[in-house]
Amino acid sequence: MSRKKWLMFDRPVTRAEEWKHITPYGYGWPGIKKGRWCTGQLKTHLINKAVSQLRKEYRILHYVGIAADEPERIKGEQYPLHDWGITESQALQICYDRGFDWGGLYEIYHRCSCWCCPFQRIDELRKLRHHHPQLWAKLLDMDDRALAQFGHNALGRFKDHWTVAELEERFAAEDREISLFDNDKKKGVDSMNVLVVEPGMAPYEKEINGLEEMQAVVGGLITALYPFEEKEALVANDEAINMGLEFNRSVEGGYGGICGPFFVCGLGEEDFCSLPPDRMEHYKQKYHHAEILIGARGNEPVTIKVEPRRPPGQEPPKRPPKTPGR
């Protein structure tokens, strides 16, 4: 961690022209626009250096632990897990069977990599805040320092859409939402335009007023999920599995799939709010196709996308009956 911090904040660097105006120290957060300097500097470079050193004296076979379900990561080394057909979840089970439980980390996180990685999914960061508050506090410190040193740009912002401080606000707001639901105080919510997604059907817009209408849309008690990078929520039926509701759509962010109807709405400071028109269109396209569940790979549903039925009121007009021929 300290080496990563030194590289991130203190290492003297020669910047590309577009970043010349920024302090000549530190790489900043790794990101799509600047590349994953950390993967090279802290992982592959060190491993390759050690392997090259050993090659001078020994015949070296370099084994890499890429599993059978990650074939796209196979390059030019030796991949025993892949060769033996062992998937990620099977590899984890083998560890458990031999008494290695990784301190329970895989019970919490979808993947365990650097805790401060900006490429983590939002859901993993939410878990970091909840289960490892000390690391989350360190991440907030790094966020402060990065913004002060580099500013609000690709070097200083943790993610394109989020600083860690903004995520802190979001997660705190989500906690407040959850406690509001718990106390059933949400009846006074203002009307809002949301996108409703029902199993088998094309999504459609709807105006919703208050908790009872939200519950009517999802067919029971509501739960709010936050799988998206943007400040938007997915509100679904909290008891969908127990109620045996039909599979609806696959959803990112580690949630796997959603059963039963759900709606997507915006997320204000304290409450749900309308989706802006461009985001409404975005989600209409995203969830346009209906999905049929045919299996699962770990927590991820395997589905076939099919043409959706039209929502109520948008069915094609019925053809007039044919006039009998003469």
For binding to ligand SF4 (CB under 6 A), which residues are involved?
A: 30, 36, 38-39, 42-43, 113-114, 117, 119
Supply 99's token pair.
Answer: 């008494």
- Minimal distance, residue 126 CB to ligand SF4, in Å: 17
- Minimal distance, residue 68 CB to ligand SF4, in Å: 21
Nearest CB to ligand SF4, comparing residues 117 and 196: 117
Q: What angle do CA 264, 269, 272 make, to 5 degrees?
A: 25
- Minimal distance, residue 149 CB to ligand SF4, in Å: 18
Residues sharing a CB contact under 8 Å with residue 143, sequence separation 6 or more, in sequence order: 158, 163, 164, 165
- Minimal distance, residue 123 CB to ligand SF4, in Å: 16
Nearest CB to ligand SF4, comparing residues 64 and 114: 114
Nearest CB to ligand SF4, comparing residues 143 and 232: 143
For the beta carbon of residue 135, count every other beta carbon within 10 angstroms.
Answer: 14
Nearest CB to ligand SF4, comparing residues 51 and 114: 114
Quote the CA–CA distance of 57 and 318 in Å, as a whole number: 80
Supply 303's token pair.
Answer: 């589905």
- Minimal distance, residue 14 CB to ligand SF4, in Å: 21
The residue behind tokens 């990563």 is 4
Nearest CB to ligand SF4, comparing residues 149 and 223: 149
Q: H or E element: which one contains 296?
A: strand 290-297
